[in-house]
Each structure stands twice: as structure tokens, then as C-alpha cells.
Homo-oligomer: A and B are copies of this chain.
């Protein structure tokens, strides 16, 4: 099996031993506590679940700077994006060596982790900008990732953590959330050697299904791990249970037995495009995938990144041998009316836009809400049915 990034075995920071877990929770109740921001909380969940192996906690300023500039820590570990605990509320932290980290995303803010504080360092505005510019390739305050990052705080509270919960991800998505440990275990159980990981936040239509199959075929994979980004519902989002049911129906009907796993993980989108694509690859290696599908505009937003920047970064900036996982570079896929099948757009340079069956997200949602199934060249009818039932209820609910 492919090794985790940076170590021989996976070392998740979640405290699995129930006695130790209980004792730590008790101890934490009497520790000074810091309310995390959402980004730091998301990092804790990823560290706890083994996805950020081999990191042992939040980076200090020096590591963050060198990771931002060179994609490696001061110890030489390859890592694409600083993993920070930024705050402005250092009063409760100052002078303490051990603190409790509280979860901003769960009511009553339970303890998410216990931290041994090694440093509390202030970033200058110049340093914050330096990191943002390296990670996001822009300082445009209109870039959602930059705006968020610059709002998190000036102080980096760094040191190892022991994670005590998976925040709301495990409780709100009980059938879908998976740790990297679990996915590794299941890959081993299934006997898969070559494993493609596929990132999604949305229901999968025919083009996505075929993209997975193209990736699997190209690399000779035994299976695909469909790995959904889980998070709180935002306006216009389809609820996770509906999305999951639609994806599971697709797997049941259109994938050979034992060739697809439907799973999810909890993190915040950074919108860091290329750098985020590399981070995505790192944590897919940690969960045991040997290959990762990266398409157009992976993890991008607006027009900040070139369509294939999230692919070329692997050739141009990731040192050879830094990662074991391999990238399957993809383009958009869509049904070709000329060829009567789903194709990857780059493979049909003679096609014009009119040669494809393309529907905007808005258009698809509109159709589904009216009970009109998208054409079978776009959606599997059984998948469309599940989505239609949801959108029609939505429409009825609003009427």
C-alpha cells in the first residue's frame, strides 16, 4: 500500500485511547481555552483524522514562511500550505504552556483539542501579505481565500495538538464522514492496489461519472474513492443526504462491484487553486490513494488561476519524489453529439461548444425543480429522479 506522506505509518492526532481521551477532556476543562477560528478548527479535524500526516500540530511562523515560499518546513518536509492557528485573542493564551482549543462551529463550543503551546508569534502585515501572496498568488481583497486568511488574526499560536473530536462532521454526516485511517483500512480490506481519488462537492452527473471511469481506466485502478467535501449547508446547496443518495445510486447502478467507495471529509475550501490542489493530493496520499484526478480550475475561484495551473504546479514546483501519489490530469468532460459518448474536451479539438450537451448548474436546478429530467446524455435517469424529488419538494416548500 502507498505510504502516507512523510512517515511509514499514519499517525492521526485523534486520541483513540478512551481512558486518555477522557483524562485529556477532564484536564482541558481546567485549562485556559482559546476559541479557534473556523480555518484553524478545520485544520484540527484534518490533523486528527490523519489527513495532514505527518504534521503534529500547528506550524510556527518560521515554518509557515518557508512553507509559503518553498513548500517545505524548516525541517525539510514537503508541505504546500501553512497549517496555522491564527488569532488576535492572545490574552488567554499568553504565558500558558498548555491550552484547550474550542470549536467555533458547534454550539456551546466544546473542546476540539488540547495544545502544547510552543510559541506565540506576531506576524507583521508584510509577513501576512507574503504568505497570502505565495499561497493564493494574489493579494486581491476580493479573492475569498485572501479575504478570509487576512481576517484570521496576526498571532500564530503554534505547537503539537491532541485532537478530541471531529467537530460536527462526524455527527452531522454520520454515514459519510471518514477519517484517513478508515479509508486506508477499507482500501486494504477491499484489496485495491491502485486507487483513484475524486474530489467533489456536488451530485455527480454523467460527465463526472465518466471522468472517474476515464481516470480509473488510464491508470489501471482497482477502484475510485469518491471523496466529498462535507460542510454546513449554504444557500443553494443540495443537502448532503440527497447528494449522497444520488451518488450512491450512481455507484450502485453504473460502477462494477467493489470499484467505488462513497466517502467524505471535513475541511474548509481555501480557494487557493494550485497550492490547494497540491494539499488535496497530499491528503489523498495519506488516505491511501495512489492517484488523484485534477481537472480544470481545481479549487480555484474567479479568474485568478489559469485553467490548468493546478496541474502544472505538480510538474513545475513539486520536487520530484516529494509525493508518491500521481496526478491524473483531466479536462472538462461532456457528451459529444458527434461521437455519441462522453469525451474529454481536450481530446476533441475539432468540437465547438455546440457539439456538446452542456447545461449550467442554474439551468439544471431549474429543470429538476420543474420535474423535468435533464437529458440522459447529461444525467442518469435514476440519479435525476432522486434530485428531482428533492428540488420539487424545495419548490413546493417555497410556494
Contact = CB atoms under 8 A, between A and B. Distances in A.
Given A174-B179, A258-B190, A18 B248 contact: no
Interface string A237-265: 00111000000100110001110111000
A189 B18 contact: no
Given A232-B18, A233-B18, A241-B17, A257 B170 contact: no
Query: Which of A174, A186, A252, A262 is the most central at the interface, judged by chain B CB atoms within 10 Å of its CB?
Result: A174
Contacts of A182: 174-175
Interface in A78-114: 107
Interface string A181-192: 110011011111
A299 to B, nearest CB: 24
A36 B241 CA distance: 29
Contacts of A186: 186, 261
A175 B165 contact: no
A258 to B, nearest CB: 5
Contact of A188 (B18, B165, B170, B252): B252
Contact of A185 (B16, B192, B262): B262
Interface in A11-51: 14, 16-19, 21, 25
B185 A233 contact: no
A189 B258 CA distance: 6
A239 B191 contact: no
A189 B241 contact: no
A166 interface: yes
How many protomers of this protein does the assembly include? 2
Contact of A257 (B14, B166, B174, B191): B191
Contact of A190 (B19, B175, B190, B241): B190
A239 B171 CA distance: 23
Interface string A143-187: 000000000000000000000011000111011000101100110
Contacts of A258: 189-191, 258
B185 A248 contact: yes
B189 A260 contact: yes
A192 B182 CA distance: 20
Contacts of A170: 170-171, 174
A202 to B, nearest CB: 17
Contacts of A261: 186, 189
19 contacts: A18-B233, A18-B239, A21-B172, A25-B107, A166-B174, A170-B170, A170-B171, A175-B179, A175-B181, A175-B182, A185-B262, A186-B186, A186-B261, A188-B251, A189-B251, A189-B257, A189-B261, A190-B190, A190-B257
Interface of A: 14, 16-19, 21, 25, 107, 165-166, 170-172, 174-175, 179, 181-182, 185-186, 188-192, 232-233, 239-241, 248, 251-252, 256-258, 260-262
